[in-house]
Amino acid sequence: MDGEQIQPPPTESDALDAYSRVVTGVAARVLPSVAALAVRSARGNGAGSAVTFTADGLLLTSAHVVDGAEGGNATFADGTESRFDVVGADPLSDLAVLRVRATSVPPAELGDADRLRIGQLVVAVGNPMGLAGSVTAGVVSGLGRSLPARDGRLVRLIEDVIQTDAALNPGNSGGALADSAGRVIGVNTAVAGYGLGLAVPINSTTRQIIGDLVSTGRVRRAWLGVAGVPVPLPPEVAERTGQRRGLRVVEVVPGSPAGSAGIYLGDVLVSAGGRPVQSGQGLQRLMLGPAIGSRLPVTLLRRGAFVDVITIPAELTH
């Protein structure tokens, strides 16, 4: 081993430097795309954050930030101010799309929250308590959380919510949660308690919701008319299907698409549209616009035997 130089182990200072480089790099990349919102509605004045995601001035924020408002003012990190209009909002995902009237702000890159891992570094960028351009960092504390969302009398769980210990405070809602590469993987939506923040994920489902808001200003959802509870699948079924849980049907609405298709109380939903169904949230994930009026094959477990039915989801109306 003569002549070979032994490298000293990394010091705590080296680790902190690496951490700081990541956080400052993400801040430099994302901050220019984040706006502080001043919202005016019939209920009074409010504030929040939003993140630019297209070059022509579309912003993403939380639906509750702009609830009841038609517009307001957006102020960016470089001092640029612009009036914004609400393109569309979806309270059941707590997402909204805004358009600013004049901006040269660079768009942030949207990532994929489905690739996140617990313990991964994330950076929150927003405008808490009126402090514009605030940056906090932490880790992904949990994945797959659920957050109740209400639209009138309708209550639905926002699924796959990201839990982080990055400090979030009033005004952070609608701001960006970014990964170490500066990709926006979530929209900060709630402060559940001290040291606990939640963010709506950016994934294939929410991308479709965002696309619907951009194109039509609203999100159409399908409806089957069943309620269920997760249950373990029998070992032989779990081995055959590669999934451990299914959804036992505990309610079928009379005259609903599920009832018309021949789904009964006690059936266990195993898959729908070729995708595993292991929870009510998993089934709801399939119930977006394209499912309305389309054939949706459903595989059931009934008295120990597989049964296939064809459902035609109808449009959910409030």
- 318 belongs to the catalytic site: no
CB neighbour class for 100 (10 Å; exposed up to 12, middle 13-18, buried from 19) = buried
**How many C-beta neighbours within 10 Å does residue 66 have?**
26
Dist CA 242 CA 236 (whole Å) = 10
Nearest to 267 by CA among 282, 255, 257, 252: 252
Tokens, residue 163: 């839990």
Structure-token match 């079924």, residue found: 237
**How many C-beta neighbours within 10 Å does residue 107 have?**
18
Do residues 87 and 218 make contact, with C-beta atoms less than 8 angstroms apart?
no
- 204 belongs to the catalytic site: no
What pairing do the DSSP bridges indicate for beta strands 268-272 and 245-252? antiparallel
- Which one of the listed residues 49, 62, 90, 94 is annotated catalytic? 94
- Which one of the listed residues 33, 49, 141, 173 is annotated catalytic? 173
Distance of CA 220 to the CA centre of its chain: 17
- Which one of the listed residues 33, 62, 64, 279 is annotated catalytic? 64
Nearest to 211 by CA among 110, 313, 72, 103: 110
Catalytic sites, residue numbers: 64, 94, 173
